[in-house]
Amino acid sequence: MATVSRAAAGTDASVIRASLADPDRFATVYDRYAAMLYRYAYQRVGPEIADDVVAETFLAAFRGRASYDLGRQDARPWLFGILTRELATHHRRERARYRAMSRSAHETVQDGPADQVAARVVAAAARGPLAAALADLAPGDRDVLLLVAWGQLSYDEVADSLNIPQGTVGSRLSRARRKVRLALRDIDPTMTTEEHHEI
């Protein structure tokens, strides 16, 4: 069976529009984004509830598809916004996960090329303080930071997904990065090398 390319299947907006008459078409949106949303949810709340949160996200998206702004061709910000609201109901679970990670033993470094070993040692050393810093962030600040760092959304997309002004995204991200940098002694793994040089 031939795989239909994304271009042939249409933009997210056109797929959602078509799903209003043919609900089965919404499966295309699921196929495009389920793995991405699952990875994000897994990092935030762990495997025990990531499946349920993603399922609830797509159920809410399906039910609310008639109100989707068809002028927005990319549904990622919309879906991440729904997912963020679903995750908010698990905020205690998320904070407990980060606290547990901050106390857990560092992962064992395995033999391998020197660069790989060095990278794993640095990552293991940062894991505890990073998890503790994430647990201590205000929920809104954490949402913005993780949508940028793990969800790979732009500032505009984060503003769309959370329905907040872009200026609020910038201030929350700045505040979150400052706290994370402090916890990691001025090393923020959510920033690119270029951003480090700008500070």
Q: What is the pLDDT along the chain (199 residues), one digit of tens a residue?
A: 444 445 557 899 999 999 999 999 999 999 999 999 999 999 888 888 899 999 999 999 999 999 999 999 999 999 999 999 999 888 777 677 767 766 664 444 444 444 443 344 334 445 667 788 888 899 999 999 999 999 999 999 999 999 999 999 999 999 999 998 888 775 545 554 444 433 3
Tokens linked to 82: 């729904």
Q: Where in the chain is the domain with CATH 1.10.10.10?
A: 106-199
Q: CA-CA distance, 133 to 117, in Å (whole number)?
A: 25
| pLDDT for 118 | 38
Residues 35, 93 contacting (CB under 8 angstroms): no
| pLDDT for 159 | 96
| pLDDT for 102 | 65
| SS3 state of residue 75 | coil
Tokens linked to 85: 């609201």
Q: For residue 191, which phi and psi values (nearest 5 degrees)? A: -105, 150
Q: Which CATH architecture has domain 10-89?
A: Orthogonal Bundle (1.10)
Nearest Cα residue to 140 out of 107, 114, 165:
165
| pLDDT for 123 | 43
| pLDDT for 129 | 75
What's the pTM value of the predicted model, to 2 decimals?
A: 0.73
User: Angle of helix 114-136 relative to helix 166-183, nearest 10 degrees?
Assistant: 120
Q: CA-CA distance, 194 to 4, in Å (whole number)?
A: 38
Q: CA-CA distance, 153 to 144, in Å (whole number)?
A: 9
Q: Where in the chain is the domain with CATH 1.10.1740.10?
A: 10-89
| pLDDT for 177 | 93
> Which DSSP string do the residues of 120-135 spell out, in sequence order?
HHHHHHHHHHHHHHHH
| pLDDT for 199 | 34
Top-tier CATH class for 106-199:
mainly alpha
